C-alpha cells in the first residue's frame, strides 16, 4: 500500500533503467553491431546491481522511527524480516523482468536458453533482496544514508555477481545445463545462507 501511495521511488527506478539502457544503446553503437554477447551480459548485470541497491535501500533507511516503532508493536522481528525479504524479492523480480524486456528490445536478445536465463534472474533477485534487506537494516541503525549501504553491499554482492554472470553466459551460449550445475548449486546455497543469516541476526538489530 505504501509503495503505491508513494510511487516516486518505483517510477525513479523505471526511469533509471530506461535511461541506463538508452545510454548503453547510444554509447556502444548497437546499430553498427559493436556490442558482443559478453559485453551485453556484463552490462545487464551491472544495471541489475545498481537497480537492486537503489530499490532495496528504502527497506529501512527511508522509514521514520515512528513507523518502525509501530512495526515493533504489532509484529515480531522474524515476521518483519521475512516479510521485508519476501516483498523485496517480488519487487526485485518485477524490476528484473521489466529491465530484461526493455534491454532485449533495445539492445537485442542473444540468449538461447531463455528458461535457464530466467531462473538465473530469479536467483539473482533473491540473492540481492536477501542480502540488501539486512544491509539496509544495518545502515538505518547506523543513522547513515545509501552511500554506506553501497559500501557494505559490494563485498557481498560482487562474488554473487560473478556467479550470475557465468550462469547467464552459459544460457546465452546454449550450453548444456549440466555445465552450470555447480554454479547453480553455489548460488542456491548462498541465497539460503543469506536468508538464514538475515533471519538470525535481524532480531538483534531490531532490539537495538
pLDDT digits (tens, 9 = 90+) for 69-128: 777 788 888 888 999 899 899 989 998 998 899 888 888 888 888 998 999 999 999 999
Write down the pLDDT at residue 74: 83
Write down the pLDDT at residue 2: 66
Query: Residue 30: is its pLDDT beyond 60?
Result: no
Percent of the chain whose pLDDT exceeds 90: 20
Write down the pLDDT at residue 62: 66
Least confident piece of the model among 19-23, 40-44, 77-81: 19-23
Question: What's this model's pTM, rounded to 2 decimal places?
Answer: 0.87
Compute the mean pLDDT over every residue in the chain, rounded to the nearest whole number. 83
What distances in angstroms separate CA 186 from CA 8, 166, 196, 205, one per listed residue?
36, 12, 15, 28
3 exposure class (CB count in 10 Å sphere: 0-12, 13-18, 19+) = exposed
Give me the helix-helix angle, 77-107 and 181-207, nearest 10°: 140
Write down the pLDDT at residue 9: 67
Query: Residue 64: is its pLDDT beyond 70?
Result: no
Query: Residue 32: is its pLDDT beyond 50?
Result: no
Predicted confidence (pLDDT) per residue in 115-168, tens digit = 989 999 999 999 999 998 888 888 877 766 667 777 888 888 888 999 999 999
Tell me how many degrees the CA angle 160-89-151 measures, rounded to the nearest 5: 45
Instruction: Identify the DSSP state of 139.
Output: H
Amino acid at each position: 500500500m505504501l509503495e503505491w501511495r508513494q510511487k516516486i521511488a518505483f517510477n525513479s527506478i523505471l526511469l533509471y533503467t530506461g535511461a541506463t539502457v538508452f545510454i548503453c544503446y547510444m554509447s556502444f553503437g548497437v546499430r553498427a553491431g559493436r556490442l558482443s554477447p559478453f559485453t551485453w551480459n556484463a552490462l545487464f548485470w551491472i544495471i541489475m546491481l545498481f537497480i537492486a541497491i537503489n530499490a532495496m535501500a528504502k527497506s529501512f533507511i527511508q522509514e521514520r522511527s515512528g513507523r518502525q516503532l509501530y512495526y515493533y508493536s504489532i509484529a515480531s522481528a522474524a515476521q518483519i524480516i521475512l516479510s521485508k525479504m519476501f516483498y523485496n524479492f517480488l519487487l526485485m523480480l518485477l524490476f528484473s523482468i521489466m529491465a530484461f524486456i526493455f534491454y532485449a528490445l533495445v539492445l537485442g536478445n542473444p540468449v538461447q536458453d531463455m528458461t535457464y536465463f530466467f531462473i538465473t534472474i530469479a536467483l539473482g533477485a533473491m540473492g540481492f533482496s536477501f542480502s540488501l534487506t539486512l544491509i539496509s537494516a544495518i545502515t538505518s541503525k547506523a543513522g547513515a544514508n545509501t552511500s554506506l549501504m553501497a559500501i557494505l553491499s559490494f563485498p557481498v554482492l560482487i562474488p554473487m555477481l560473478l556467479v550470475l554472470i557465468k550462469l547467464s553466459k552459459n544460457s546465452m551460449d546454449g550450453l548444456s545445463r549440466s555445465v552450470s550445475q555447480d554454479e547453480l548449486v553455489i548460488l542456491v546455497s548462498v541465497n539460503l545462507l543469506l536468508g538464514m543469516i538475515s533471519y538470525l541476526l535481524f532480531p538483534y538489530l531490531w532490539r537495538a
